[in-house]
Amino acid sequence: MIESLILYFTDLSVFGKVAIVLNFSLFFIAGFLFKHVVPSGSEELNTKRARLLRLMNILLLSIYLFDWLWNYVINTNGHSEFLKQVSQTGLVFLLGYLFTQFGHSWTIKKYGKQRTIDGNETKTRTYHSEMGYIIILLITIAVSLLLIINIWQVTSWLQATGVIGGILVILFGTKEAWAHDAVSGLIMLHQGQIAPGVVCRIPSMDILAVIRRMSLTETTFHHVIQKHNIIVANSKLRAVPVEILNKTDHNHWNDYVEFNIGYDTPSEQVETYIQAVWQRACEMEKQLDADKTPKLVLVNPGDHAICWRMNYRVESVYRIVQARFAINRAAFDLQNEHGLSLATPLTHQSVN
């Protein structure tokens, strides 16, 4: 068995030997390759890409295994020319896949923008990086088709009514499934307002999340509270109003909380109460700075109570909801201590 395998390997052409060694090497370093050399910024996506590469390696190696079993163990026909062409075609797809991955990584490093996402520095995609990726992808497809035509010696594929013409017809017929998302993704990347690191609120989708990743077809959000990922097609994202809560170069966020307090509470007492609430909230939430004093504004003298607005600053836009929770909790805990109530006062009552 071992001698037969050694004989089969020595009888292979230089191309066959290189293909086998290359596939074994890529199979073992796939995880390292997509985690450290051409990372995508997502552990889940890195794992999927490594699995896809290993699957391609296994398929290509299985061709040589079948060739050995059929032509060296069961029969003695020597190498199969058909299987050789199949392996060459598979190697073209493998190298094309690697070239696009390395090319995309290079365009992001070259034309991407350094941004802080949830406290981590990362290179994100831009309009220029994605346009560069499209060019690399088109070149890879064109070269791969020419190599496959040369391998199989089928020049008829170049005719308008051949396979290439059929591929173009399929692409045109399925443009509704991918063209809108791709164009929408390029438009949003070119505008630059919706980008990784930006915190967005989308009322129609009930989303309050930070943008983690943008591609040509979809945008991945990370929910601020529930910490799960939300994937939205780019065409749907452009069709709804999106509230941009911060700029990518500014990490802080200005927010406010309103309290309804009765007319019998003087403004000096309210100011003392708000300062105490602020100090307590800063102890509960680290992204609130006690040195940055909140501003108190009388917003609306209503029929039943006065609406006071507490304007404050959150140092990290990713903690805006947690900061609001801390202030609300502090306000509730301190109301009795400062001799006031946040409940709407009763201005009338029914008499039986």
pLDDT in the model for residue 156: 65
Residue 52 has pLDDT above 90, yes or no: yes
With cut-offs at 50, 70 and 90, classify the pLDDT of residue 188. Answer: confident
Of 44-58, 63-77, 87-101, the one with minimum mean pLDDT is: 63-77
- Taking the domains of the chain in order of start, what are their residue ranges? 2-173, 187-244, 253-334
Average pLDDT value for residue range 24-34: 93
Architecture of domain 187-244: Roll (2.30)
Q: Which of 57-66, 91-100, 169-178, 320-329 has the lowest mean pLDDT?
A: 169-178
In this structure, of 187-201, 241-255, 268-282, the range with the lowest mean pLDDT score is 241-255
Percent of the chain with pLDDT over 70: 88
| pLDDT-based confidence at residue 181 (cuts at 50, 70, 90) | confident
3-state SS record for 55-77: HHHHHHHHHHHHHHHHHHHHCCC
State yes or no: pLDDT of 152 exceeds 70. Answer: yes
What type of residue is 305? A
Q: What global pTM score does this model have?
A: 0.68
Percent of the chain, pLDDT > 90? 33
pLDDT of residue 29: 94
The arithmetic mean of pLDDT across residues 3-30, rounded, is 87
Q: Does domain 253-334 have CATH number 2.40.30.20?
A: no
